[in-house]
Structure 1
Amino acid sequence: MINGAHLIVYSRDADADRAFIRDVLGYPHVDTGGGWLIFKLPPAEVAVHPTDAAETHELYLMCDDLERTMEELRASGVEFADPVSDQGWGLLTAIMLPGGGRLGLYEPRHATAYDLS
């Protein structure tokens, strides 16, 4: 039986991004050796969106209060790639990762599935 999901974030500076997730976001982790950290994520959900373009996969972190979360992250030196935009389904921004990537962050206004049993 499937009992979890494993997401991969590709990075031009994996060590810096791992340190960011460990030290700034504070996610618990295991060290599989050689600095390869695997992080425990908050509860998650998956959505399937239609597209006529190339199929891609995206990762977004969710929060209950985007403004407060951004203030807390800024206090830790986090920079944001985008100003907050109201998408109707939620408030959206993106965190700049040290390796140059972006990590979506949003406050959903839609029903969520991550706490279903």
Structure 2
Amino acid sequence: MHAIVYSKQAEETRAFFRDVLGWPSVDAGGGWLIFQSPPAEVAAHPTDGDGAHELYLMCDDIEATVAELKAKGVEFTTDVTDQGWGLLTEFALPGGGTMGLYQPRHPIAADMPHTGA
């Protein structure tokens, strides 16, 4: 899967992924970094609208992860809330927008071996 995060400050967002989240990357040319993300999974949720896409990072211990990211200067835009299916918060990205962070309470599809395209 190739996910795209649009930003008005793309270089700062790339630096955030590299320096704060610690994601390894390759340079596709001219400093255009493409990051290796953690294991991923995709879910389809019902909507009455035209549809939208959201991006969340998952963690095993949300309180420890929030503390670690705050120590690196990350600004959280919401408190951690209990959604039943997991614990959820959001943090600000350079250039605008937010990214979700959650500690799931459901089985993790990313833990399964990949057999599809």
Matched, 1:70 2:66: yes
Q: What is the letter of the counterpart of residue 60 of structure 2?
A: D
Which contiguous aligned blocks of 4+ residues in structure 1 show a shift greater than 6 angstroms? none
- In the alignment, which residue of structure 1 is the partner of 2:35? 39
Shift of 1:7: 0.3
Shift of 1:85: 0.9
Tell me the percent identity.
65
- Count of residues paired in the alignment: 113
- In the alignment, which residue of structure 2 is the partner of 1:7? 3
Runs (5+) with no aligned partner, structure 2:
none
RMSD over aligned CA atoms reads 0.7
Equivalent positions of 1:1-117 (< 5 A) are 5-117=1-113
Q: What is the letter of the counterpart of residue 50 of structure 1?
A: P
Task: Note the alpha carbon deviations across 1:53-91, whole angstroms, 9 max, x for none.
Answer: 121111100000000000011111111011111111100
Q: TM-score, normalised by structure 1?
A: 0.94
Q: TM-score, normalised by structure 2?
A: 0.94
CA distance in 1, matches of 2:39, 2:16: 20
CA distance in 1, matches of 2:96, 2:79: 17
